[in-house]
Chain A
Amino acid sequence: MREKNRNIIEGQGLTYNYLHYDEEGKVDASQLALDHVDLNVEAGQFIAILGHNGSGKSTLAKQINALLLPGEGTLYVDGNDTRDESKLWEIRQCAGMVFQNPDNQIIASVVEEDVGFGPENMGVPTKEIWERAEKALRAVDMWKYRGSSPNRLSGGQKQRVAIAGVIAMKPKCIVLDEPTAMLDPGGRKEVIETVRELNRQEGITVILITHYMEEVIHADRVIVMDSAKVVMTGTPREIFSQVEKLRDLRLGVPQVTELAWELKKAGLPIPEGILTIEELTQALDRVRAGCRE
């Protein structure tokens, strides 16, 4: 299923400025949101982009969907230049996007109609819209809610409907811009598990933007952004072994990782970059076994 070794997203030297206009329409302030960012994503990968507010990560996400166009540099999505207006709808179909606020991205008043909205825009025939909607709703486990009003769903369920709405367009890549920021822990887990499942089962490339560390430990690659630049990149283990550097960037690490790091600092022989509770308990077992001998 997975098509490896082919970059679905290729961005070189991406730069973007938010301009602020005064009353006469002249630029009176500008804010650099992306500063020569390179982004290459292989098809089928799960990429996480981390950064605190204002680091430019949302701006980067909107570039991939061609909602914003690069000021400098080039961005190719599945071989199409995002600046090429004739390819705009192809790009948006290829790279679906899920936003932060679940209420503000559900368009229809019935769940199934909302899932059908994307295919309707693409001009898919009626019969196929229904097939796609059913498949998408089953994939996110929301099929039994197809006739409900979105207003009656929980935050996590609404986000899953939003994801289904994107899958129904058969994208190669999904960009999720802080999809869990407004959800409770239960809803957060629901959404992340759905996304991981789609990545593994369907081979859809996932770009997850978040500031929750726990959500990125399963990613193939983590990109850390700070003040419009990419400052770190690597596997979750590589990133989280640099606890001090992350702290300087005002980003925390998962609690388990932090505990392991503190224990190591206190002198216990524990490996670097522990990500899960199981890993830590195993490491501690080994330490205890070592003490007994």
Chain B
Amino acid sequence: MFKDITLGQYYPGTSIIHRLDPRVKLVGTLVFIISLFAFGSISAYIVATIALVIVIRISEVPPKFMLKGLRAIFILMLITALFNLFLTPGTELVRIWKLKITQEGLRMAMHMAVRLSYLIIGSSIMTLTTTPNQLTDGLETGLRGLKKLHFPVHEVAMMMSIALRFIPILMDETDKIIRAQEARGADFDSGGIIKKAKALVPLLVPLFVAAFRRANDLAMAMEARGYHGGEGRTKMKPLIYKTRDYVSYLIFLLYIAVMFLASRYIKIAWPL
């Protein structure tokens, strides 16, 4: 029943965005996010919006999938906006009891709302068009430079891909334990949040024990197949840049240039 779960919310497709090298997509997302925070003008946001719409169109992923990601962080966005709205000092606009809304606060709140929602949409384009495996591969190759700083790049990537492989297995296991305990009279469904949370404790203990046992088996199986860290390892599916990847990097440069010029020379006043 858990076998069909899509991890990392990948949306299968064959668009050019899907086929891009994962490193390009990682860099692209990073460039986009930085551009949002580096240029804080309405004209810059318009450029970002146009770029976003074009990329969503090319990726052939229905936009509702990206909006789904927004819903998940709606509360966070609301809190951020409220804090900005009430706690930024400046010229007072409205005063409710002890809280005052300032012009600067309003502006800040709108900035943050745009930035956060674009950040989520931008990164969900990446996760929707890249399989989790490609993503870890991309991270491993892309962060190779960090190895000089003794950051365990290969190990982290290996852990991520193993975690992805074992999530469905552990979910199956959870399901089995729940049923085994329900068969002996455990109740997971009734009662308030606290009671439900307490009912989960006897579920977590066997789950953890099983996970450790699995980890032990897996470690032995990996060793038996000659795994000894990233040293001297070759790749079955190495990442190789193609023309489209180089073109994408050029487009990123172009995007930054347009963004820079737009926020420099086209001034659009804030509506407030």
Contact = CB atoms under 8 A, between A and B. Distances in A.
Given A104-B217, A113-B237, A130-B236, 8 more contacts: A92-B223, A93-B226, A103-B169, A104-B218, A110-B133, A121-B225, A129-B236, A151-B3
B224 A97 contact: yes
A123 interface: yes
Contact of B161 (A65, A109, A126): A109
Contacts of B236: 112-113, 116, 119-120, 126, 129-130, 133
A181 interface: no
B234 A109 contact: no
Given A105-B221, A110-B133, A152-B3, A125 B226 contact: no
Interface in A24-47: none
Given A92-B224, A96-B224, A118-B225, A123 B232 contact: yes
A103 B214 contact: yes
B234 A67 contact: no
Contacts of A121: 225-228, 233
B225 A67 contact: no
Interface in B221-272: 221-228, 232-238
Interface of A: 62, 65, 67, 89, 92-93, 96-97, 99, 101, 103-110, 112-113, 116-126, 129-130, 133, 150-152, 165-166, 169
Contacts of B87: none
A67 B164 CA distance: 26
A93 B183 CA distance: 46
B218 A92 contact: no
B165 interface: yes
Contact of A107 (B168, B221, B238): B221
Interface residues of B, number: 28
20 contacts: A65-B224, A89-B226, A89-B228, A96-B224, A97-B224, A101-B214, A104-B221, A105-B217, A107-B221, A109-B161, A113-B237, A118-B225, A118-B226, A120-B234, A123-B232, A124-B234, A126-B235, A126-B237, A126-B238, A169-B226
Contact of B226 (A92, A110, A116, A150): A92
B220 interface: yes
A51 B161 CA distance: 37
A116 B169 CA distance: 21
Contacts of A129: 234, 236
Contacts of B228: 89, 121
Contacts of B214: 101, 103-104
Contact of B222 (A103, A107, A130): A107
A99 B217 contact: yes
A121 B238 CA distance: 14
B38 interface: no
A117 B224 CA distance: 11
Nearest to A166: B225
B162 interface: yes
Given A121-B228, A123-B234, A125-B234, A67 B223 contact: yes
A92 to B, nearest CB: 5
